[in-house]
Amino acid sequence: MSENVVSIRNVNIYQGGNLILEDVSFDVSKGEFVYLVGKTGTGKSSLLKTLYGELPLKQGSGNVVGFDLKDMTWKKVPFLRRNLGVVFQDFQLLTDRNVYENLKFVLKATGWEDKKAMDDKINDVLDKVGLKSKGFKYPFEMSGGEQQRVDIARALLNSPKLILADEPTGNLDPETSDEIMQLLFHIAKDIDTSVIMATHDFIVINKYPSRMLTTERGKVFDTPLETLMNASR
């Protein structure tokens, strides 16, 4: 039986006092790639924020990478996030330092101290995303695709069990989107890190089919890959 890195049961998700998603239940297993799709304003971001501890879980039960979301306090949130990788649409790289220093900044912020261990880890994640020779470059010297790869490398620094990717291809051209999708699928399949990717790009979904969680009318609908493949025949 596959290990679950996310287990959500009968969860109601609120934004302030407003109920955004009702009676949400799903699991994500180790090494699984799952799309999170839905129109703007249907709760995708609220669901992601619940998973990484920005929105408190008030009703239902949730476990993410071994952390009980119901038991989450502000003091515990940093420990949860050390076991997660978050990839943003707009990269959020520090523009005043090069790629190596961007990654070193994150390691230091999460408690790393040994310089050789940090060097080894940075080289390892840059190699995984195909940027081993680009550590000296500044973000403004890189293409959008390269910056997104740095963002993914940053998400891999603490060997997370789960990566949450929020519209990671949203600002990229189709060819570069293909490269990022292949990289994310490689991370799930070969590194055994689960990926939940929020997107509304159905060109990407059709080209790289996988299980879908869809936010619609205040609910989350779970569509396995087999159902999608059968529907396309």
Higher pLDDT among residues 50 and 3, named by residue? 50
User: pLDDT, tens digit, for every residue of 120-144?
Assistant: 999 999 999 999 999 999 999 999 8
User: pLDDT, tens digit, for every residue of 189-231?
Assistant: 989 999 999 998 889 999 999 999 999 999 999 988 877 666 6
pLDDT at 200: 86
User: pLDDT, tens digit, for every residue of 27-82?
Assistant: 999 999 999 999 888 999 899 999 999 999 989 999 999 999 999 998 998 889 88
User: pLDDT, tens digit, for every residue of 159-182?
Assistant: 999 999 988 888 888 898 999 999
Domain boundaries, the chain: 4-83+160-232
Q: How confident is the model at residue 2 (pLDDT cuts 50, 70, 90)?
A: low
Residue 97 has pLDDT above 90, yes or no: yes
pLDDT at 1: 45
The tokens of 207 are what?
Answer: 């080209």
Q: What is the mean pLDDT of residues 112-121?
A: 94
Residue 151 has pLDDT above 70, yes or no: yes
Q: What is the model's pTM?
A: 0.91
In this structure, CATH architecture of domain 4-83+160-232 = 3-Layer(aba) Sandwich (3.40)
